[in-house]
Structures are given as structure tokens and as C-alpha cells.
Amino acid sequence: MSNSTARKRVLITGGAGFLGSHLCDRYLAEGYEVICMDNLSTGSADNIAHLIGNDDFEFIKHDVTNFIHVNGDLDLILHFASPASPIDYLEMPIQTLKVGSLGTHKALGLAKSKEARFLLASTSEVYGDPLTHPQNENYWGNVNPIGDRGVYDEAKRFAEAMTMAYHRYHNIETRIVRIFNTYGSRMRIYDGRALPTFMRQALNGNPLTVYGDGTQTRSFMYVDDLVEGVWRLSQGNYSDPVNIGNPQEITILEFAKEIINLTDSDSEITFEELPKDDPQVRQPDISRARKVLNWEPAFDREEGLMKTLDYFKQKVLRET
């Protein structure tokens, strides 16, 4: 690790993605030199365009499933590279598995060689279609390993196992964040997740597509809350997984109605068949985050959605 008088340096894999780009902003604001690494398969150069020319920011286009080389010292690696929406990992199943396995292995190897702390972006998807509710970190999950969603779920479960193996065997300082549904600016409007899909449909006056009967639940967190949780976890001393999410649970049907009201849309709601292995409930137990990070969401859903609406209006406007 670099000496205490030097500027701290962080590598953020997947740094041009939705979450990664917000993390680039935060760590720059905290005084870090930031190296953003992304192959732009699901990330976008637009998300980091405002950082180009910043002397403390560097972008490297690279696929992390290949050997990772970074010049100089590193204090911290945030491993956020991965397709993260159903439409992505269903279109790129093998790449999703590779970035969770090979990519995590390469990033951990770099952490070992640089004596850097390593933080893995895991997911609430490791709980699968949960049989306990809400979900805490001691729950082992209910995942179909050979289902369509299994390529993402098992990639992240393997990544957690690999991270803990490096922690135990190589004494690497590791952190694991299990991220629940997150939304905010820089999401792709066609990424297949509920919020961008509903926003796009409502703003265009199209019917909102609800799968199943809409009684399945999700818990939506504003991106600034996620960034704060990751920051605290990366600076702390806790190595077991930590849920970061907003416990404010809502059914998908009610959420669709909420988006229609928010956008003042005349859109109706249509129903389609529920995808296989789609979780029926999803709500984080954040007792651990409250205890070890002194963290809980600062934004309720209404406030977060209002802050996000202008971004989606601009994205939809550019399409027309």
C-alpha cells in the first residue's frame, strides 16, 4: 500500500457504468486519484465525460477478465465490473459468468500484488427468490443455478467465495457489499429494470408493463445512499458481507402507479407473464449496516424519484 503521505489511489472496475461513475465522482471528491477501468460493454463514456481532463482521473478501456495492469501504487480496488440488469445478463450470459469469476480473480490478484484493500460489489440476487423475509446477511439464499438468472446469481455468489478465500488464505483486506435495487441518474433507459422501463413508458405515454400480477415486491434505493454506504464500508474494518439497500418495500404494481402519478402520465398498465425465477419478495434487513457502518438511507423513495425524474425526461427527449 502506498505510504500515508502520498495521494490515495483507487481503481474502480466498471467505473463507466451507472454505479461506478457515481463512485468515481465520490472518491475524487474525497481526494483520491481515481483510475476508472471499463470495457464499455454496458457502461458508457458519457457517464464519465465530465471527468475527462481532471488530472486526478484516468480512464483505461480494458476487459477485466484479462490480466489487469496498473502502474504505481493502489490503496483500494472497487470491483463493480459486471452486467447488472436482466436484459444484459440474458444477452451476455457467458461474459457475465466470466466477469464474476475470472474478472474477480484478476482483480483480487491485483489487490494482492499492490497490497490494496478490495471491495466487491455483490448483490441481493445472491438470495435468489428468498424463503426468508426480509433478507439478512446470514441467509444463504434460494437460487436456481441452471436457470436463466443463475448466470448472474451464481457469478456473484462465486465472486463472494473467491473474495473470502483471498481474505482468509492471502490475508487480503476485503469488503463485500450486497446491493439492493438502486436507481438514479445515468441509468440506461433500455436496461430492462423496472424503474427505467416504467419511466420511459410513462414519459412516452405508453402502457407500463407489469410482469405477473404485480404483487411481487422490491425495495428501491437512491444512488446517493448506495455511494455513501460503499464509501463507509471501504473505509471501515468489517470483512463479512453487508446489505446496502432501502427497506421501504413496495409492490411492483403500486410502483408502476407511483411512476404514472409522478410523471403526470395518462399511461395504462398492461400485464405480461412473469419471468422464470423472478423473486417474489425483496427487502433488505440493514441491521448490520446500521451497526457496523452507522448507515441507513437518507432519501425516501419520493424524494429520490423526484431527483431522478429530470434525468429521465432529458433521456426520453433526446430519443424523440
Helix or strand or coil: residue 176? Answer: strand
Locus of grid cell 471501504: 234
- Active site annotation includes 190: no
**Cα-based torsion angle of the residue sequence 30, 31, 34, 40 in order, rounded to the nearest 10 degrees:** 40
Single-letter residue type at 180: F
For the chain, where are the E strands, in sequence order?
9-13, 33-38, 57-61, 76-79, 117-123, 174-179, 182-183, 208-211, 217-219, 221-222, 242-244, 249-251, 269-272
Q: Residue 57: beta bridge partners?
A: 34
Do the Cβ atoms of 51 and 68 come closer than 8 Å? no
Helix or strand or coil: residue 127? Answer: helix
* Residues whose CB is less than 8 angstroms from the CB of residue 285 and which lie 6 or more positions away in sequence, other chains included: 134, 135, 136, 137, 243, 247
- DSSP letter for each residue of 208-274: EEEETTS--EEE-EEHHHHHHHHHHHHHS---S-EEE----EEEHHHHHHHHHHHHT----EEEEPP
User: Nine-digit cell at 111?
Assistant: 489487490
Do the Cβ atoms of 10 and 114 come closer than 8 Å? no
* Residue of 32, 89, 152, 222 with catalytic role: 152
d(CA 35, CA 320): 35
Residues with a known catalytic role: 152
